[in-house]
A and B are shown apart, each in its own frame.
Chain A
Amino acid sequence: MFRRAPAGPTVRAMSSRARARELEPQSVISSEMAAIESDYRRAGVEETQPRLDYPPYRGSLLRHPTRDPCDVDPEAIERWAPCFGARDVDPLEADLTVGHAGEPVGERVVVTGRVVDGDGRPVRGQLVEIWQANAAGRYVHRRDQHPAPLDPHFTGAGRCLTDGDGWYRFQTIKPGPYPWRNHCNAWRPAHIHFSVFGAAFTQRLVTQMYFPGDPLFAFDPIYQSITDRRARDRLVATYDHGLTSHEWALGYRWDIVLTGGQPTYVEAGELV
């Protein structure tokens, strides 16, 4: 058996520079993004969702449908959503900082908000799932090759059910930004992945929550695939000093609005 000498930082930086030569520079991606946004502004028709066809996000090129979706009225099954209850989710799953032998490294945060429908009615007793990188920007995933440390005290996956007013709440660690290979020097702004169920199947949402003031927003084709600035802002949590707790954690507030279909309402309590 050969024993490979551990690669020092210089060797690793050199090999990553060699790999980077195959990738396009940020300037190419940035000018494509700027052109799309200025076309969008000129057209003057408001968009509120990301574009599926957004070439600066290179991974989307062969994965976006080219035809418009078919408008359809939901059938009964689509007007309802799967039910989740106390049987499905342990309250401890909402705290990503526990369950390991020690405290995770990083900035402890509380992320909380309400899940509501387009009329502002709470989505009650529904499932919210999150997953994220650790404070160093590394996922516990075999395909994540970012040479940043794993944290033995942090996995980065959590779940909770919304309460009777639609509130969810997680305690976690602020994730770090991480590199990806969309182009040379591509870095994702820090984000938490969210998966949310609504009152109807048609309201299903998977998205990402960002932190305010991230300097990487302007460079990120995933965030910028939402061409409307106000719509992009809806993914950015608000720092809330009232949620911040003394000598413990910083608080962020992020509300989620789910629309689509004709939700069928279930009385509070029926789900639990």
Chain B
Amino acid sequence: MTLTATPGQTVGPFFHYGLAYDGDCVLVPPGSPGSVLLRGQVLDGAGVAVRDALVEIWQTRPDGSVPRDVGSLRRDGWSFTGFGRACTGQDGRYVFSTLVPGAGKPGRPAFFAVTVFARGLSNRLFTRAYLPHDDAALAGDPLLSALPPRRRATLLASRDERGFVFDIHLQGANETVFLRYPGQ
């Protein structure tokens, strides 16, 4: 490594017209075969909804492979690009219509890779929203198994009738576990 990374800065309050686009949070049409919702709320340290946050997801296909299709910005209705972006609403909620990600490797748990941006947040945050159903795989995950139960719980999406729910706490007792990758 010879060069130093460019510093991040907050996304600010006025990102919507720069970053939002038609179909940004619709990776697959709602109600199409295999579609689920991934949704949740972004909350600050006082438990107040963050209405000017941006959540991005990047995920495997249901078979665990990494999507290489272009077209996230102009969706064609059938390619699965694996990338989505959602602005939170007045209630701090975001929602994606997508497919269930598959495990990247057999026996490992599947997750959505998640990036969070917000006014007041000086740099992006990385996290993972793990699918809750595969206990054996979750138990064998190096990140999850190194965490105390309460911290671990912040990385597990919960299942509901329409898909998955994953709340993001920027601060506080239930603060989400955020990630740092090598070289950062």
Smallest Cβ distance from A140 to chain B, in angstroms?
Answer: 6
A83 cross-chain contacts in B, Cβ below 8 A: 67-70, 72, 81
* B12, B76, B180: the one within 8 Å of A193 (CB): B12
Determine if A232 is an interface residue (Cβ-Cβ < 8 Å).
yes
* A54, A69, A81, A116: the one within 8 Å of B178 (CB): A69
A68 to B125, CA, bound (A): 11
Instruction: Report whether B181 and A78 are in contact in the complex, using a CB–CB cutoff of 8 Å.
Output: yes
Main secondary structure of the interface of A (DSSP, over half): loop
Would A257 and B5 be within 8 Å (CB), given that A73-B182, A77-B60, A82-B72 are in contact?
A: yes
Smallest Cβ distance from B78 to chain A, in angstroms?
Answer: 13
Instruction: Report whether A118 and B5 are in contact in the complex, using a CB–CB cutoff of 8 Å.
Output: yes
Determine if A195 is an interface residue (Cβ-Cβ < 8 Å).
yes
Write out, one digit per residue, whether chain A residues 104-148 have a CB within 8 A of any chain B CB (1) or not (0). 000000000000111110000001011101000001110110000
A117 to B146, CA, bound (A): 30
Q: Which single residue of chain A is at the shortest CB-CB distance from B117? A: A206
Determine if B11 is an interface residue (Cβ-Cβ < 8 Å).
yes
A71 to B147, CA, bound (A): 11
Determine if B3 is an interface residue (Cβ-Cβ < 8 Å).
yes
Q: Which single residue of chain A is at the shortest CB-CB distance from B48? A: A62
Please tell me which stretch of B13-21, B31-39, B132-140, B156-164 contacts chain A, meaning at least 4 of its Cβ atoms lie within 8 angstroms of it.
B13-21
Instruction: Report whether B122 and A257 are in contact in the complex, using a CB–CB cutoff of 8 Å.
Output: no
Determine if A225 is an interface residue (Cβ-Cβ < 8 Å).
yes
Write out, one digit per residue, whether chain B residues 32-57 have a CB within 8 A of any chain A CB (1) or not (0). 00000000000011101010100010
Instruction: Report whether B124 and A202 are in contact in the complex, using a CB–CB cutoff of 8 Å.
Output: no
Determine if A51 is an interface residue (Cβ-Cβ < 8 Å).
yes
B3 cross-chain contacts in A, Cβ below 8 A: 116-120, 257, 259
A82 to B58, CA, bound (A): 7
Smallest Cβ distance from A125 to chain B, in angstroms?
Answer: 9
- Please provide the chain B residues from 112 to 165 with a CB less than 8 Å away from any CB of chain A in the complex: 113, 115, 117-126, 142-143, 146-147
Instruction: Report whether B71 and A77 are in contact in the complex, using a CB–CB cutoff of 8 Å.
Output: no
A139 cross-chain contacts in B, Cβ below 8 A: 14, 17
Write out, one digit per residue, whether chain A residues 72-93 have a CB within 8 A of any chain B CB (1) or not (0). 1111111011111111110000
Instruction: Report whether B121 and A52 are in contact in the complex, using a CB–CB cutoff of 8 Å.
Output: yes
* A88, A159, A205: the one within 8 Å of B70 (CB): A88
Q: Which single residue of chain A is at the shortest CB-CB distance from B84? A: A82
A234 cross-chain contacts in B, Cβ below 8 A: 4, 6-7
Query: Beyond the given A88-B71, A157-B18, could you list 20 further A-B residue pairs with CB under 8 A, ordered by the A residue number?
Result: A50-B8, A60-B120, A77-B59, A82-B72, A82-B83, A83-B70, A85-B71, A89-B73, A131-B19, A140-B17, A141-B16, A193-B12, A193-B14, A204-B126, A207-B9, A226-B7, A232-B7, A235-B9, A257-B3, A259-B183
Instruction: Please list the residues of chain A having a beta carbon within 8 angstroms of any beta carbon in chain B.
Output: 48-52, 54, 57, 59-78, 80-89, 116-120, 127, 129-131, 133, 139-141, 143-144, 155-157, 159, 193, 195, 201-202, 204-208, 222-223, 225-226, 231-232, 234-235, 255-262, 271
The 23 listed contacts between A and B (C-beta, < 8 Å) are A50-B123, A57-B122, A69-B125, A70-B180, A76-B66, A76-B104, A77-B60, A117-B3, A130-B18, A141-B14, A157-B17, A193-B9, A195-B19, A201-B58, A201-B113, A205-B5, A205-B8, A207-B7, A231-B4, A234-B6, A259-B5, A259-B183, A261-B181
